[in-house]
Amino acid sequence: MTALTAARDLFASSFGHEPEGVWSAPGRVNLIGEHTDYNEGFVLPFAIQHRTYAAVAPRTDDRIRVTSSFARLTVECVLDDLESMFPVEYQGADRDVPEWSAYVLGVAWALRASTGSPAPQRGVDIAIASDVPVGAGLSSSAAIEGAVSSALNDLWELGLDPVALAQVGRKAENEAVGAPTGIMDQMSSMLGRPDAATFIDCRSLEAKSIPTGFHDAGLEVLVIDTQVTHAHSTGGYRERRESCERGAQLLGIRSLRDASVSDLPRAAEIMDDVTFRRVRHIVTENQRVLDTVAALTEQGPQAIGDLLVASHASMRDDFEISVAELDTAVDTALANGAIGARMTGGGFGGAAIALVSHADLQRVSDAVEAAFADAGFTAPHIFTVSPSEGPRRDA
């Protein structure tokens, strides 16, 4: 059963009638540019073919009901109650709804808060199903936010553009769920294009599609899901963000976007070792994003391998967000012919990506599976992804 069919069937079985439509949005893989988004820097993600589906129908009253294939229960409230439910403080205020539903209800709250217009009086029923792996660093959360915001944007006739909906998704994730993430995931999901990555300036929110050339070069992007789950709302992610903010303050700048590689010697003099290494990752990662865009544009995808490898080393050693499973995946892929490889996503688990020629795909996959077995790790989930389109109405 496809996730599209699952969403429609779940809606019918939960609410006793058919949805008015099904909207979907994709997950994403970040090609390069990790943790630079909340530092107002540069990122280069692409939307993937794995999607989250929201089957939705308007109601005649002011209630919102939400169910999901993640947990077979229905969460229900009055629309006006959302104002007292959110925002949730980063430090973790008590919340009366399960976290998965906070993504959905949080989007409804953020839409109402962002439009500045009288709240829509019609409630909605929503059923969610997805084929985006959860906890793998492929932004299943942004896919939920994109699908739900697209549906409500249409049904409530709000007329918001994709960038505005991305901002709504970030508000929901930051303030309703309590995950202090940047806007990369939402922008990538909302602006996805086939066969292209999205180069995003996270300060101005300007975005440009960059053809990847993977297909023409006979290359595949292999995702190695380590099965080590992570959660952005836990402490490690927040600590890294706080270190970045402290580093910017010590440098006397608005954000680390305003620092360059030439500033690193001074940073080393005025910061403790941990803060300096966090800063060094962000500053060098921003430069790697720019170098990757230039390499794709001028030389093609074969030229970006070393940049991917350097990115992983920086995340492993300076930002310290890798884990043994991710390092094993990257090292094994490179040893067996991958052009480049790196962990992708927020870290502390999740997935690695490897850029692999089609001819070497099976060899790399088999080698990674064997390396995980030898190390006693849980078997990884390995699959390919390709740059795909953003949100759409599927039915």
- Return the number of other C-beta atoms located less than 10 Å from residue 47's C-beta: 33
CA dihedral over 162, 163, 168, 170, signed as positive or negative: positive
Q: Are 355 and 338 in contact, with CB atoms under 8 Å apart?
A: yes
Of 142, 141, 138, the residue nearest 191 (C-alpha): 142
| pLDDT of amino acid 238 | 85
Q: What is the DSSP string of 170-207?
A: HHIIIIII-----SHHHHHHHT-BTTEEEEEETTT--E
How far is 215 from 358, CA to CA, in rounded Å?
Answer: 9
pLDDT per 10-residue tile (average), the chain, 395 residues:
95 97 96 96 97 97 94 90 77 64 94 73 93 81 96 95 96 89 91 97 96 96 90 71 97 98 98 98 98 98 98 98 97 98 91 97 98 98 96 94
Distance CA 211, CA 88 (A): 39
Which residues contact residue 119 at a Cβ distance below 8 angstroms, ignoring those fewer than 6 apart? 79, 80, 112
Task: State how far the alpha carbon of 338 is from the alpha carbons of 250, 313, 328, in Å.
Answer: 39, 16, 13
Known catalytic residues are 185
Give the angle subtended at the CA of 20 by the CAs of 78 and 51, to the nearest 5°.
90
- Classify the C-alpha dihedral 25-31-33-35 as positive or negative: positive
Distances in whole angstroms, Cα of residue 52 to Cα of each of 4, 65, 318, 395: 8, 18, 33, 13
CB 26 within 8 Å of CB 390: yes
Report which of 58, 54, 99, 61 is spatially closest to residue 78, judged by C-alpha positions.
Answer: 61
Is 155 exposed, middle or buried (CB count within 10 Å of its CB: 0-12, 13-18, 19+)? middle
Helix (H, G, I), strand (E, B) or coil at 119: coil
Q: Which residues pair with 65 in a beta bridge?
A: 76, 125
- Residue 243 to residue 268: CA distance in whole angstroms: 14
Residues 326 and 332: their CA atoms lie apart, in Å, by 10
pLDDT value for 119: 56
pLDDT of residue 90: 43
* Dihedral (CA of 185, 188, 194, 197) sign: negative
Plot region of 112 (φ>0 → left; ψ -120 to 50 → alpha; else → beta): alpha
For residue 374, the number of C-alpha atoms closer than 13 Å in the C-beta half-sphere is: 9
Environment class of residue 31 by beta-carbon count within 10 Å: exposed (0-12), middle (13-18) or buried (19+)? buried
Indicate the SS3 state at residue 103: helix
Block residue for tokens 């630079």: 36
CA–CA gap between residue 92 and residue 178 (Å, rounded): 7
**How far are the Cα atoms of 52, 113, 129, 351 from residue 180, in angstroms, in the given order?**
22, 19, 25, 20
Give the per-residue pLDDT at 230.
Answer: 65
| pTM given for the model | 0.90
